[in-house]
């Protein structure tokens, strides 16, 4: 997120009953059980990855180490990986064994300038730079999702394109990646993304239409109404109806450049709850005391996997 502002409005959101035209709970993909088992197996390793990224944050345009780690993990899966796109951007193409739709998932990788004390035990070792917007979490969610879906590729129809974006905080990375041919030759049917939010751990927030306004250099984030609506049933099936938070608020002062990808394909960005009331931590992006609970990574990866599988299998 490119601008600092309080986001207490999100923290106060509550679950909304299902609307008449949407499924209350969707049937999950037959492959989801195997994907979920893979997520459980690599849970500790993914948390360790997130903590490593948090310990070594890199500012916009300087994400060389982060991008290297990302590319290494993706190469190990046997994916088609391209690096150095629009700066330090990474694209990974996960092709299933059978033809089908093409769905994207975007995660941003850059950190933010902050000299405030880091409250984590695995604190930043880079002076004046911290992950206080949750991009370390976003990256870990995407890697976990890629690893889990790769485990079922022999049964998978379609393709998932994972986009690891640099320079979101300067709102230039998405445009730079697209201008550098990030999605050249791809015809995305949909694209998803998450952003950490000060909602309770275990919750997923969603909103049709404008999620985040544009500023002078970014297009913001405007969720495709039909894609957002049909995604709700999938989210309910994964986290429970009580954990789906349908918001009506456009958070003021924040922006995003995910809108550049949403101009290429129907897209939805969801809020990923990372606050842990039991521990007294609040994951309000860009706040000096920002803390995102590691357990949110598993919630995000389960939800992302289910959403990607649902869209791949959509007729």
pLDDT tens across the length of the chain (315 residues): 654 444 455 655 655 555 546 668 999 999 999 999 999 999 999 999 999 999 999 999 999 999 999 999 999 999 999 999 999 999 999 999 999 999 999 999 999 999 999 999 999 999 999 999 999 999 999 999 999 999 999 999 999 999 999 999 999 999 999 999 999 999 999 999 999 999 999 999 999 999 998 877 799 999 999 999 999 999 999 999 999 999 998 988 788 999 999 999 999 999 999 999 999 999 999 999 999 999 999 999 999 999 999 999 998
Q: Which domains does the chain have, with CATH numbers?
A: 8-312 (3.40.630.10)
The single-letter DSSP state of residue 33 is: H
At 217 the pLDDT is 75
pLDDT for 17: 52
Residue 143 is predicted with a pLDDT of 98
Q: How many CB atoms neighbour CB 39 within 10 A?
A: 23
Contact 301, 23 (CB under 8 A): no
Percentage helix, strand, coil, to 5, in the chain?
35, 25, 45
Note whether 308 and 107 are within 8 A (CB): no
**How many Å apart are CA 21 and CA 43, to the nearest integer?**
36
pLDDT in the model for residue 254: 82
Provide the annotated active-site residues.
110, 168
pLDDT for residue 5: 44
């Amino acid at each position: 997120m490119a601008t600092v502002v309080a986001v207490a409005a999100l923290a106060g959101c509550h679950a909304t009953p299902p609307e008449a035209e949407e499924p209350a709970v969707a049937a999950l993909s037959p492959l989801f059980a195997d994907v979920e088992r893979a997520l459980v197996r690599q849970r500790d390793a993914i948390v360790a990855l997130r903590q490593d990224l948090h310990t070594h944050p890199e500012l916009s345009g300087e994400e060389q180490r982060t991008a290297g780690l990302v590319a290494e993990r993706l190469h190990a899966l046997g994916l088609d990986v391209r690096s150095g796109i629009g700066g330090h951007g990474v694209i990974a193409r996960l092709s299933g064994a059978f033809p089908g739709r093409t769905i994207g998932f975007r995660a941003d990788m850059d950190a933010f300038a902050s000299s405030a004390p880091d409250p984590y035990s695995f604190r930043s070792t880079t002076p004046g730079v911290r992950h206080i917007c949750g991009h370390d979490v976003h990256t870990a969610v995407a890697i976990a999702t890629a690893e889990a879906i790769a485990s079922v590729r022999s049964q998978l129809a379609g393709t998932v394109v994972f986009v690891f974006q640099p320079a979101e905080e300067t709102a230039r990375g998405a445009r730079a990646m697209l201008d550098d041919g990030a999605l050249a030759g791809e015809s995305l049917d949909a694209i998803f993304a998450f952003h950490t939010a000060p909602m309770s751990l275990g919750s997923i927030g969603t909103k049709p239409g404008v999620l985040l306004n544009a500023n002078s250099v970014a297009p913001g984030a405007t969720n495709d109404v039909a894609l957002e609506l049909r995604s709700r049933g999938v989210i309910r099936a994964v986290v429970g109806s009580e954990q789906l938070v349908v918001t009506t608020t456009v958070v003021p002062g924040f922006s995003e450049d995910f809108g550049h990808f949403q101009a290429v394909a129907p897209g939805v960005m969801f809020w990923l709850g990372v606050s842990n009331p039991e521990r007294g931590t609040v994951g309000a992006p860009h706040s000096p005391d920002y803390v995102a609970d590691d357990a949110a990574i598993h919630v995000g990866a389960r939800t992302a996997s289910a959403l990607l599988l649902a869209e791949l299998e959509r007729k």
